[in-house]
Amino acid sequence: MSKKVVFVIKIYQKILTDSIVQGVTLLSLLLLVAYPARAQTTLSTTDIPESFPQPKIEESTSGMSQVTNVNQLTDIQVTDWAFVALQSLVERYGCIAGYPNSTFGGNRVMTRYEFAAGLNTCLNRVNELIATATTDLVKKQDLATLQKLQEQFAAELATLRGRVDTLEAHTSELEANQFSTTTKLQGQVIISATAGAYDGNRITDATGQQRITNPNPTIVYRAGIDLNTSFKGTDLLKLRLETGSGFSENGRPVGGRDNTSGFLEPYFGSTLDYSINPPTNQNIDISRVYYSFKPTKDLMVVIGPALQTSDFLDFNSYAKLSFRDFSTQAFVNNYILFPVTLPSGGAVIDWKPGGGALSVRAAYTAADVANPGNQTQPTGVAPFIEVLYPGNFRPPGAGGAPSNIVSGGLFSGTYQGTVELEYAPSRSFALRLEYGGGEVFNQRFDVIGANVEFTLSQKFGIFGRYGYASYNDTAFGDIKPNYWMGGIGMRDLFTRGALAGIAVGQPFIANEIGNSTQTNFEAFYNYPFSRNIQITPTIQVINNAGNQESNGTIVTGTLRTVFSF
């Protein structure tokens, strides 16, 4: 080896090893020439369309092979200002590869990932050249070019290093002051203005109580905070704190009576769901406490002392969430399928074998799971249960208790087991068959249900539910109520992200109670004012409320505003 070559190599090694920053700077300059980027450029992956081909790393075996001649890049011309530098990187050092479509993309913004990939390849190549020390691979004029480029780009590199330092400082500050490394905080506030009236002289509800005056307009609210904690990424520990408008009746929160429809017809599914689920009297309560995990890829298990079966079963893309679509209880779930509601506790499993079209879900919940003895106030049951078993809801007399004592605990006299089989071969169709059974106040009940949805196009769908039940030894004897509802839903109506729907149904058809004629109608339009604010006007019509044909028509209007954060 000649003394001249040895001298040149030693100079080059000294420049590269003088300091880590200076060595990286020299190689970075070659890449900066090949990928033009000014100091004002924001390095962000969001500037690149998802369909844009990503850069190919030299070691990759996919896409085109390593570029050996700059002419292989179809978008590089001899007249390009960086042609000489790029030619050197490609043909002399072999550390630049193009995209799979034989382009270089020199006029677009470079991402940090692309810069890192190119820099790593060039570092490996230069290290290889230094190790082999082959004659004429490293020339004195190349070193002079590098030094000149270093001087010309000194300001840009200093700015880039400053931005990286600032970003690291901000990241450290966020990590030090974030709420938790494992817990995310989510919140929601629902505020609704509601008003309405009925025609005729009076409204008689399903228990025989009469209301002879129209209710005043009200403001209904519900506010909740979720603490979602994950320890492994596939599990979830949920804690929800909630409060809302409402009041107490006979020593217990009843909820739902703070809005026109719930005040005039509180028992057969006309109440605003978010005002009654769970009942509140303006106190802060813990409404959800459960832990979900996945022992296998296809199986999810949920256990907890405060959960609701309908959170996990009877889903429908168009009629499920009262803060997003329909507001009233008769349309967000199969009304007679879930007599045991909040607060309740138990377990849920969700199994989707092989990730295919079939899913099996099962749940067991019991009301008042934390009470090992007996209690005097019934909790965790749907409003229509008060019609079927009124003796359990009578207020205590002087120094006495209600006529019936309600037992508590995990396997108490009020519990429910539910199974759902879902067949969803595509995103446009789903059929769910359901069974629920258990006891309410030690009296047996059984329910079967069906839930179907069919999307005819990306923006239009139809849906419906049906239920048939038997409840034993009620105040009306053994009864077999029916339930049905159906409607249409429209997505992106007038604006992207909007949702509109119209539905009709009969929540509780039982010949033993009135004449089985109550029919509910609801129409809504959910307008996304912003990512965090939704505004929804809703109109509800109730014919023959409480299955009483003598009742006039109830018409209500609600303006619902939802804030999410």
Phi and psi for 186 in degrees, rounded to 5? -130, 145
Q: How far is CA 51 from the centre of its chain?
A: 26
Is the per-residue pLDDT at 45 higher than 50?
no
What is the location of CATH 2.40.160.10 in the chain?
291-564
Instruction: Find the distance separating the first CA and the last CA of the chain, reported in whole Å.
Output: 69
pLDDT at 139: 67
Q: State how far the Cα of 122 lies from the Cα of 29, in Å rounded to an integer.
A: 11
Confidence of residue 133 (pLDDT cuts 50, 70, 90): low
Residue 37 has pLDDT above 80, yes or no: no
Rounded-to-integer distance, Cα 66 and Cα 119, Å: 16
Report helix, strand and coil shares of the chain as percent, to nearest 5.
25, 35, 40
Q: Which long-range contacts (CB under 8 A, 24 or more apart) does 118-122 make?
A: 118/31, 118/34, 118/35, 118/55, 119/24, 119/27, 119/28, 119/31, 120/57, 121/57, 121/58, 121/95, 121/96, 121/97, 122/27, 122/30, 122/31, 122/89, 122/93, 122/95, 122/96
* Rounded (10°) CA dihedral 461, 462, 463, 466: -170
Q: Which residue has the higher pLDDT, 480 or 411?
A: 480
Please tell me the distance from the alpha carbon of residue 545 to that of residue 547, in angstroms, as a whole number: 5
**54 pLDDT band (50/70/90 cuts)?**
very low
Closest CA to 402 of 368, 440, 376: 376
Rounded to an integer, what distance in angstroms lies between the CA atom of residue 120 and that of residue 57? Answer: 9
Mean pLDDT, residues 294-303: 95
Average pLDDT over residues 534-544: 96
Highest-confidence segment of 84-88, 312-316, 409-413: 312-316
pLDDT score recorded for residue 20? 37
Among the ranges given (144-148, 396-400, 543-547), the one the predictor scored with the smallest mean pLDDT: 396-400
Instruction: For residues 554 and 519, give the distance between their C-alpha atoms in angstroms, rounded to a whole number.
Output: 11
Has residue 9 got a pLDDT over 60? Answer: no
Q: For 250-259, 328-337, 543-552, which range has the lowest pLDDT when averaged over its residues?
A: 250-259
Task: Select the more confidently predicted residue: 340 or 44.
Answer: 340
- At 64 the pLDDT is 38
**Cα gap 428→455, rounded to integer Å:** 5
Of the candidate ranges 271-275, 402-406, 541-545, the one whose mean pLDDT is the lowest: 402-406
Q: Is the pLDDT score of 397 beyond 60?
A: no
CA–CA distance, 85 with 372 (Å, rounded to integer)? 80
Q: Which residue has the higher pLDDT, 531 or 467?
A: 467
Q: What percent of the chain has pLDDT over 90?
A: 48
Structure tokens given for 530 = 């912003």
- The tens digit of pLDDT for each residue in 115-126 reads 777 777 777 777
Could you write out the DSSP letters of every residue in 163-192? HHHHHHHHHHHHHHHSS-SSEEEEEEEEEE
Q: Which of 87, 29, 194 is nearest to 559 (CA)?
A: 194
Residue 1 binned pLDDT confidence (cut-offs 50, 70, 90): very low
Ramachandran angles phi, psi of 150, nearest 5°? -60, -40
Q: What is the CA radius of gyration of the chain?
A: 34
pLDDT tens for each residue of 167-218 = 888 887 777 666 677 888 999 999 999 999 999 888 998 888 888 888 999 9
Residue with tokens 């990306």: 458
Coil, helix or strand for 85? helix
Listed ranges 2-16, 31-45, 89-103; the one with the highest mean pLDDT: 89-103
Where residue 372 falls among pLDDT bands split at 50, 70, 90? Answer: confident
Higher pLDDT, 165 or 300: 300
Is 291-564 assigned to CATH 3.90.480.20? no
Mean pLDDT (whole number) for 372-377: 75
The residue-averaged pLDDT of 311-335 equals 95
Alpha-carbon span 213 to 195, nearest angstrom: 13
pLDDT band at 348 (very low <50, low <70, confident <90, very high): very high
Helix axes 3-17, 112-132, angle to 10 degrees: 150
Lowest-pLDDT choice from 122-131, 206-215, 284-293, 329-338: 122-131
List b or e across 479-496, with b for residues whose CB sees 16 or more CB atoms inside 10 angstroms: bebbbbbbbebbbebeee
The tens digit of pLDDT for each residue in 222-242 reads 999 999 999 988 999 999 999
Q: Which of 169-183, 300-314, 461-475 has the lowest mean pLDDT?
A: 169-183
| Sign of the alpha-carbon torsion through 81, 87, 92, 97 | positive
Name the percent of the chain lying above pLDDT 70: 79
Quickly list DSSP for 336-396. Answer: TT--B-SSEEEEEEEE-GGGSSEEEEEEEEEETTT-SSEESS--SB-THHHHH-GGGGPPP
Q: What is the pLDDT of residue 177?
A: 66
Say whether pLDDT at 340 is over 70.
yes
Amino acid at site 528 = P
Lowest mean pLDDT among 88-92, 215-219, 383-387: 88-92
Q: Say whether pLDDT at 33 is over 60.
A: no
- The residue among 85 and 262 whose pLDDT is bigger is 262
193 and 219 Cβ atoms separated by less than 8 Å: yes
And the tokens for 266? 């509180």
| CA angle (269, 364, 371) in 5-degree steps | 90
pLDDT tens for each residue of 321-331: 999 999 999 99
Residue 63 has pLDDT above 60, yes or no: no
The yes-or-no verdict on residue 499 having pLDDT over 60 is yes
Report pLDDT for 167. Answer: 86
Phi, psi of 134 (to 5 degrees): -80, 145
What is the model's pLDDT at position 384?
A: 94
Mean pLDDT of the chain: 81
Going by the DSSP 8-state scheme, the letter that residue 279 receives in this structure is -
Question: Position 363: which residue type?
Answer: A
Q: CA–CA separation, 536 vs 563, rounded Å? A: 12
Q: What is the pLDDT of residues 355-364, one digit of tens each?
A: 899 999 999 9
